[in-house]
Amino acid sequence: MPTNLESMRPQSWQGIDDIVIVGGGLAGLFCALKLAPRPVTVLAAAPIGQGASSAWAQGGIAAAMSPGDSFDKHLADTVAAGAGLVEEKMARLMISEGPDRVHDLLAYGVPFDRDLEGHLLLSREAAHSERRIVRVAGDRAGGAIMEALISAVRRTPSIRVMEGYVVEELIAEGRFVSGVIARPDAGQSKTRVAFPARAVVLCSGGVGHLYQVTTNPAEARGTGVGMAARAGAVIADPEFVQFHPTAIDIGQDPAPLATEALRGEGAVLVNRAGHRFMADLHADAELAPRDIVARGVFAEVAAGRGAFLDCTRAIGKDFARRFPTVHASCIAAGIDPATQAIPVVPAVHYHMGGVAVDADGRSSLDGLWAAGEVTSSGVHGANRLASNSLLEAIVFAGRIADSIKGMLPESALYEWAKSAGENDDLVTVEDSPELKTLRGLMSSHAGVVRDEAGLKLLIRELVGLERKRPRVRFSNIVATAKLIAVGAYLRTESRGAHMRSDHPASQATLRHRTYLTLKQTDRIAAELAG
């Protein structure tokens, strides 16, 4: 809460009928388009199309659309991957609305791959029992989807896009959210701007940059979860962080990705000795659920044997044509994936936890909706099934638009107000030594494998870091890190993407989701910090 909230309120508060969407990735833009012609303001930390995981997605969107597939089969795969924590009603809802939302994307101009007869071409990914991933030009799904949506947004006069606006706080009084406060110029401006709103939709993406090795863009720093938690929203399942098993290990930040589809097409994982280690660990070998493959790769790397994705036989000379994005990353690092195995490492890829939302994307606070990776809707449980995240983003963003349309009056002649805010927080959190320290601590103690001693140490260090840098934007980051750490500390079992070396088995008594507020988290952190 800003201290000078009253002074930031515009005179014309009563007339405000704006809808503010935080984030210009797939969830944010899709929601804005679905709300048209209602006036919407999209605030995005980076120019839309950049700084969003959506633009980087390689595989595509999972949707049961082939004649041999069914909603039941897609649901069964989703539930199996989620390790006992999938909210089945929510997942069924997402899956059954998926094909219609894919048709919406086609209508917005997304050029999904088709066969000669014009049917959508569907590919298969790990832990999917059917070919059900709609894709574009092999591995270009995210970029192509975003290009189409951005051009649709630019053609829609009711959508105002404000790029380079980093949202730092929700304006909240008690349980009512009535706007956001943002800092322009990619967060470098000396003034902050208040955007009062009837409805705020948080679509700010994931948490990858709380860790050292991640596939996410730098904007994915968990600030959305942090600011919602700071305003009092309930956060669900924060401890479940998914590691992609095959980020390309060439020392880049963010780490480029060798898409799961490569394994779907038959690429194998080997160590330096050429041993296909996943065959020892799971009946589905390379196509086992992500957490199992990530732990297999982590173990080989930690033991010094290295891990490599060998595509030479399965894809070989077709590599550049079929997987142009991965090909370009490899070639830039001096690796020819047609003839050489690609060195890989697990990297933070996706956050199953986030702002707890219902079937209409409503959070526990009035006036605050959320969609996409910033949320925890329960559809992924303890482990997301590949390509279900873009699906979740479009389905729930669409449902939010319907929910808001039903609640707000039609009139909506929007006005917006601007007022200068505090000057105290000119942050370059991005380069701060504290953020670097935090990323190292998170990777060491809340990474692929966790234990009680490491998590306690992490929580104490996070509390110390927060005291050292009590600034708004860093507070959002630390809040999210604390939620992940405390959630992982409380879950004394291993389940899905959460692995505790001191509690390697799943416990029937812990087969439930985690719900935490920041208040509860801080109480536990304070007890542990002593």
Considering only residues 223 to 262 of the shown chain, the ones binding ligand FAD according to CB under 6 A are 223-224, 257
Of residues 23, 164, 296, 346, which one binds ligand FAD by CB under 6 A? 23
Output the six-digit token pair for 69.
């597939």
Q: C-beta of 211: minimal distance to ligand FAD in Å?
A: 12
Q: Is 167 in the site for ligand FAD (CB under 6 A)?
A: yes
Considering only residues 457 to 496 of the shown chain, the ones binding ligand FAD according to CB under 6 A are none
Residues 6+ apart with CB under 8 A from 209: 216, 217, 218, 219, 220, 221, 222, 254, 439
Chain Cα centroid distance, residue 58: 14
Query: Could you check whether the bond before residue 254 is cis, i.e. omega within 30 degrees of 0?
Result: yes
Q: Is 220 in the site for ligand FAD (CB under 6 A)?
A: yes
Q: Is 204 in the site for ligand FAD (CB under 6 A)?
A: yes
Output the six-digit token pair for 179.
């706007």
Crossing angle of the two packed helices 388-407 and 141-154, in degrees rounded to 10: 20
Write the CA distances from 25 to 21, 22, 41, 285, 375, integer angstroms: 10, 9, 14, 33, 14
Output the six-digit token pair for 294.
């990530």
Of residues 344, 345, 393, 483, which one binds ligand FAD by CB under 6 A? 393
Instruction: Please report, as a single letter, which amino acid is at residue 184.
Output: P
Q: C-beta of 393: minimal distance to ligand FAD in Å?
A: 5
DSSP letters spanning 183-222: EHHHHT-SS-EEEE-SEEEE-----GGGSSSBSS-TT-SS
Residue with smaller CB distance to ligand FAD, 25 or 343: 25
Considering only residues 24 to 83 of the shown chain, the ones binding ligand FAD according to CB under 6 A are 24-28, 43-46, 51-54, 56-61
Alpha helices in 371-424 (DSSP H): 388-407
Residue with smaller CB distance to ligand FAD, 65 or 220: 220
Q: Is 373 in the site for ligand FAD (CB under 6 A)?
A: yes
Q: Is 197 in the site for ligand FAD (CB under 6 A)?
A: no
Secondary structure of residue 353 in the 3-state scheme: coil
Considering only residues 337 to 356 of the shown chain, the ones binding ligand FAD according to CB under 6 A are 349-350
Q: Is 205 in the site for ligand FAD (CB under 6 A)?
A: yes
Contact string (CB under 6 A) for ligand FAD, positions 121-150, x = contact: --------------------xx--------
Output the six-digit token pair for 24.
């210009």
Q: C-beta of 294: minimal distance to ligand FAD in Å?
A: 14
Q: Has 491 been annotated as catalytic?
A: no
Q: Quick one: CA dihedral 181, 185, 188, 191, positive or negative?
A: negative
CA gap 96, 241 in Å, rounded: 26
Write the CA distances from 95 to 98, 129, 391, 393, 395, integer angstroms: 5, 15, 8, 12, 9
Q: Active-site residue among 290, 399, 473, 500?
A: 290
Residue with smaller CB distance to ligand FAD, 51 or 232: 51
The span of 20-28, 303-311, 405-413, 498-506 binding ligand FAD (CB under 6 A) equals 20-28
Q: Total number of residues binding ligand FAD (CB under 6 A)?
A: 45
Residue with smaller CB distance to ligand FAD, 28 or 343: 28
User: What are the residue numbers of the active site?
Assistant: 290
The residue ranges that bind ligand FAD (CB under 6 A) are: 22-28, 43-46, 51-54, 56-61, 141-142, 166-167, 203-205, 215-216, 219-220, 223-224, 257, 349-350, 372-374, 387-390, 393
